[in-house]
Amino acid sequence: MWRLLNLNAYPHRRILVAVTLLMSSLLITPHVAAQDTPLISGGVGFFTSTNGGNTTYVPTISPVLVAPLGQHLLVESRANLIELFFPKPPGQSGYTSEPFLSLAYLQLDYLATSHLTVVGGEFLTPFGTYNERLTPIWISNFQDAPLITSLGTGTGSSVGGMLRGSAISTPKFSIDYAAYFSTESTNMQFNAERSTGGRVSIYLPEKRLELGTSYGRLLQGTQQNYFGAHAWWEPANTGFKLRSEYAHGAHSQGYWVETDYRLSRFGGDQSLIGRLEPVFRWQQTFRNSPDPTDGLPAADTQRTDFGLDYHLPHEVRINTSYARQFSSTGNHNVWETGIVYRFLFPTWKGK
């Protein structure tokens, strides 16, 4: 899911330029409104994953910077800084580590009208829901992204322009949209494919139901289309959520369904039991022809994830999960644990 940059192998220059530009945007906005102070948010986490008997340890920092520029502009960025500790190759004992850094997005937003925002820069590709909504470490219920995530999203990010917004919003329903064009970029920090596409969703507030569809077209190499659909149902005042996605590519397709239930009914969400959140995910992928580049398993695969999250005070959450993956290439277990702290504060005190 994450595009990784090996800091030992690549220079820092471009990412330093990006960070410098971002910091400059913070420094040139000293006269902001009282509520519009730039902020730093994000998550700090420590994760473990045991797959096929091998355990990896992944301390992660994922900062988000948001800086308004006047009344209509906004600069946003999210990065992932990871130190991956993994077992040395067979025949050697102990662990080795490798640092990684990636930029999920670095974008400038122009709030053109009430219903239109123009986005430029590197942004999360708007295909399906997982990539844009559920990838932050302080949001996702499971460490592993769904198996179909790469279908339609490619590297996860696009470099170019996007139009998005709320087409209409009424008490009965609302419709939102996103359409984008991305150029090809082989830069490791801004890795993207030449592609175009978009997403349209309708939300019915009374039923708390969202339905949407996505389209993407790869415009480089062997051009191909991607289609997607999603459904979210989150009945009010129940603590229950159901999220699902389907994606179809030229050589493979698949879906995932995830449910979670916060036990806040038992004494409130701050009670001992109410802090618990069992989660479950079922997913399948189907391959009709080989394609080593689409990111899906080489053979038909089924996977079941069982998880239990615990919401501690002060924005700390513990995630645990067990998954069993079935495939003609072999079955295996995946055990995962993690602890995440979410932070949010202004860059300065403000006026």
Footprint on this chain of other proteins (rule: CB under 8 A): 33-39, 66-68, 74, 76, 109, 111, 113-115, 117, 119, 132-134, 136, 138-139, 164-166, 169, 174, 176-178, 203, 205, 208, 210, 232, 234, 236, 241, 311, 313-315, 342, 344-346, 349-351
Whichever of 169 and 337 has its CB closer to other proteins, that residue is 169
Minimum distance of other proteins from residue 145's CB (angstroms): 15
Whichever of 264 and 301 has its CB closer to other proteins, that residue is 264
Nearest CA among 309, 312, 290 for reference residue 299:
290
Whichever of 35 and 54 has its CB closer to other proteins, that residue is 35
Strand, coil or helix: 10: coil
Minimum distance of other proteins from residue 209's CB (angstroms): 11
Minimum distance of other proteins from residue 220's CB (angstroms): 27
Whichever of 87 and 136 has its CB closer to other proteins, that residue is 136
Whichever of 208 and 251 has its CB closer to other proteins, that residue is 208
Our CA angle for 214, 174, 106, nearest 5°, is 55
| Cβ pair 236, 208 in contact under 8 A | yes
Nearest CA among 105, 74, 73 for reference residue 180:
105
Whichever of 7 and 242 has its CB closer to other proteins, that residue is 242
Rounded CA-CA distance 180/196 in Å is 6
Q: Residues near 21 by Cβ (< 8 Å), separated by ≥ 6?
A: none
Residues paired with residue 241 on neighbouring β-strands, in sequence order: 260
Residues paired with residue 82 on neighbouring β-strands, in sequence order: 60, 100
11 backbone dihedrals φ, ψ, rounded to 5°: -70, 160
Minimum distance of other proteins from residue 68's CB (angstroms): 6
**What's the length of the chain?**
351
Q: Can you read off the two tokens belonging to residue 70?
A: 């006047």
Minimum distance of other proteins from residue 212's CB (angstroms): 11
| Cβ pair 213, 197 in contact under 8 A | no
Minimum distance of other proteins from residue 349's CB (angstroms): 7
